[in-house]
């Protein structure tokens, strides 16, 4: 019986690995062990509650005002000690976080093969997103198995010299998680929002906003917040709902610019647990975000996305027309938000496109590829 170790640190990683964790724990053909570094400490418990699982160990590595170098050192050392104790046959990491790269490096140092979930995403620009683009490239150099969500991701890996037989196009596990959560996300109220906004059948426009990218810290978030303020005044019948990330580099400009806004249609709320957030995504008219995962989830919910970045490692949604890059320029943001609020046909056009990121069977394909890998080694 082979033992898989799954390691994550952030809320998106936990969501995207949850279907794998649950499948492994229900399958007597596998052993599994689950570790979190606690990179999103306050947000992870929401995911554990939503999917009804807990990690086997929480390394609790976060420190106030930490540097990326300090975090990286603690992740490598903490994960290394855990791997020495658990002795897994393979380590699975997800995506492009500091935890994913450093856990892969710790596994490499222990000569433990690495499976990279959501492999092959690229923007071609090391500074956007930063440091995620470097993390995903470096993780690819260390991985044995590459679970690419799309053929575009597969082609990226092939161009970098990854052997074809080590790449498996699986779809994205975020769609597996979304399908699992959608059946549970029958939320009738969110404490910080008027009940009328969540009522079924209402046609009041709702713009859902999320933002956390490091490259937007400073001038980027200043511009984003000013654009939201102007649009809220310009469209008083629309509601702008912003679950504000806990990072102080995000909270400070948001609270300073939008916290005292006179407009009653701006709602700054605490970060939401996964199930209420899925419900809010379903309720939204469109979504304004710098997130990667939302670009994958929103098409399955029929929601257009304006991406507050200049590049994206998810070109499939861009090509399909479900998302549009708008950056953080104030004038562009006001223009694009206004365009979708004024023209329902534009929203409908973006919303009616099929999701290019999967069919909900990524977990099944990943475990089949792991099984085949071990069988090939023993033959």
- For the annotated catalytic residues, the residue numbers are 96, 118, 132, 212, 214, 245
Whole-number Å distance between alpha carbons of 246 and 40: 9
CB 241 within 8 A of CB 281: no
DSSP state of 34: E
Whole-number Å distance between alpha carbons of 326 and 335: 10
Q: Which of 41, 44, 42 has its CA nearest to residue 16?
A: 44
Whole-number Å distance between alpha carbons of 21 and 50: 13
Structure tokens at 104: 């892969």
Whole-number Å distance between alpha carbons of 199 and 185: 14
CB 4 within 8 A of CB 370: yes
Whole-number Å distance between alpha carbons of 177 and 294: 12
Largest Cα–Cα separation, the chain: 69
Element (H, E) at 253: helix 248-258
User: What contacts 201, CB < 8 A, 6 or more positions away?
Assistant: none
Whole-number Å distance between alpha carbons of 318 and 86: 41
Whole-number Å distance between alpha carbons of 205 and 202: 9
CA distances 19 to 273, 344, 361, Å, are 17, 35, 10
Q: CA-based Rg of the chain, rounded to a whole angstrom?
A: 20
Structure tokens at 81: 């000690």
Q: What are phi and psi of 150, to 5 degrees?
A: -140, 170
Query: What pairs with residue 148 in β-bridges?
Result: 169
- Tell me how many degrees the CA angle 312-357-50 measures, rounded to the nearest 5: 100
């Amino acid at each position: 019986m082979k033992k898989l170790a799954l390691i994550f640190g952030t809320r998106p990683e936990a969501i995207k690995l949850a279907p794998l964790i649950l499948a492994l724990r229900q399958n007597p053909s596998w052993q599994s062990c689950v570790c979190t570094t606690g990179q999103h400490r306050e947000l992870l418990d929401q995911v554990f509650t939503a999917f009804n699982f807990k990690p086997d160990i929480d390394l609790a590595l976060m420190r106030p005002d930490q540097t990326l170098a300090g975090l990286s050192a603690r992740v490598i050392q903490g994960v290394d000690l855990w791997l020495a104790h658990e002795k897994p046959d393979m380590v699975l990491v997800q995506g492009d976080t500091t935890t994913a790269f450093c856990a892969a490096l710790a596994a490499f140092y222990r000569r433990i093969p690495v499976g990279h979930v959501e492999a092959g995403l690229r923007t071609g620009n090391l500074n956007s997103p930063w440091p995620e683009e470097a993390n995903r490239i470096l993780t690819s150099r260390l991985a044995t198995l590459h679970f690419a969500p799309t053929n575009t991701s597969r082609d990226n890996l092939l161009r970098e010299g990854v052997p074809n037989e080590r790449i498996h196009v699986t779809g994205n596990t975020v769609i597996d998680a979304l399908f699992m959560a959608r059946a549970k996300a029958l939320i009738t109220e969110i404490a910080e929002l008027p009940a009328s906004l969540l009522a079924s059948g209402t046609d009041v426009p709702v713009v859902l906003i999320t933002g956390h990218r490091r490259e937007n810290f400073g001038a980027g978030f200043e511009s984003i917040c000013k654009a939201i303020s102007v649009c809220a005044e310009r469209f008083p019948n629309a509601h702008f709902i912003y679950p504000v990330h806990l990072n102080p580099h995000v909270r400070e400009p948001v609270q300073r610019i939008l916290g005292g806004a006179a407009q009653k249609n701006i709602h700054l709320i605490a970060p939401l647990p996964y199930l209420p957030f899925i419900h809010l995504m379903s309720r939204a008219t469109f979504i304004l975000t710098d997130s990667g995962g939302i670009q994958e989830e929103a098409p399955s919910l029929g929601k257009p996305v304006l991406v507050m970045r200049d590049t994206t490692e998810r070109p499939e949604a861009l090509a399909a027309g479900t998302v549009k890059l708008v950056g953080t320029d104030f004038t562009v943001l006001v223009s694009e938000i206004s365009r979708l609020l004024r023209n329902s046909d534009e929203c409908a056009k973006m919303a009616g496109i099929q999701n290019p990121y999967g069919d909900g069977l990524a977990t099944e394909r990943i475990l089949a590829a792991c099984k085949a890998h071990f069988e090939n080694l023993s033959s």
